[in-house]
């Protein structure tokens, strides 16, 4: 099991997205995701998120919201507990990243046009609807989403 953080940095109706195209043996290879990574020993979810955002983008967030916990269960990658955040964009643009290429993308484009994980579409919709703090379990078999449970209630997928 691993704990991670993921932050979607917002600028108007755009999100800062990372196209994962540079890292070897990347479970997110070719996908577009937010900014984040694994907890270090002793870190809180907020500390992890702030460190990862700074390391990957060079940006220092001034405010943020802890939006939910997403439990990923995968037959290939194991179990991950992702702590999900959103934050308004600070001044400046992201620096180049060793894991991929950053781009500002419209919310609608993220949901309809970009290659993202199917489960990401679920939690991104929840973020866009401004849903209160939530717990979402996503179970994958390979790349296929086979189960989604939101706050204890199974979703139709």
pLDDT tens string 15-64: 999 998 887 777 887 899 999 999 999 999 999 999 999 999 999 999 99
Question: What is the structure's pLDDT at 86?
Answer: 98
pLDDT tens string 89-125: 999 999 999 889 999 999 999 999 999 999 999 999 9
State the average pLDDT over residues 4-25: 92
Q: Which of 23, 135, 5, 4 is nearest to 64 (CA)?
A: 5
Question: What is the structure's pLDDT at 29?
Answer: 77
Q: Which of 7, 10, 14, 6 is nearest to 107 (CA)?
A: 14
Q: For strands 2-11 and 78-88, give the pairing.
A: parallel
Residue 40 near residue 49, CB atoms below 8 Å: no
State the average pLDDT over residues 69-77: 95
Show the domains of the chain with their CATH numbers.
2-154 (3.90.79.10)
Percentages of the chain per state (helix, strand, coil), in multiples of 5 = 20, 45, 40
- pTM value is 0.94
pLDDT tens string 124-134: 999 999 999 99
Question: What is the structure's pLDDT at 154?
Answer: 97
């Amino acid at each position: 099991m691993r704990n991670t953080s993921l932050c979607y940095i917002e600028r108007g109706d755009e999100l800062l997205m990372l196209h994962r195209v540079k890292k070897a043996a990347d479970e997110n290879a070719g996908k577009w995701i937010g900014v984040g990574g694994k907890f270090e020993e002793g870190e809180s979810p907020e500390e992890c998120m702030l460190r990862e955002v700074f390391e990957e983008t060079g940006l220092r967030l001034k405010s943020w919201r802890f939006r939910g916990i997403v439990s990923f269960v995968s037959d290939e990658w194991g179990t991950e507990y992702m702590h999900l955040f959103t934050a308004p964009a600070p001044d400046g643009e992201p620096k180049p990243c060793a894991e991929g290429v950053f781009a500002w993308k419209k919310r609608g484009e993220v949901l309809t046009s970009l290659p993202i994980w199917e489960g990401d579409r679920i939690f991104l919709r929840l973020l866009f609807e401004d849903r209160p703090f939530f717990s979402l379990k996503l179970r994958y078999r390979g790349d296929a989403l086979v189960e989604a449970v939101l706050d204890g209630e199974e979703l139709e997928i």
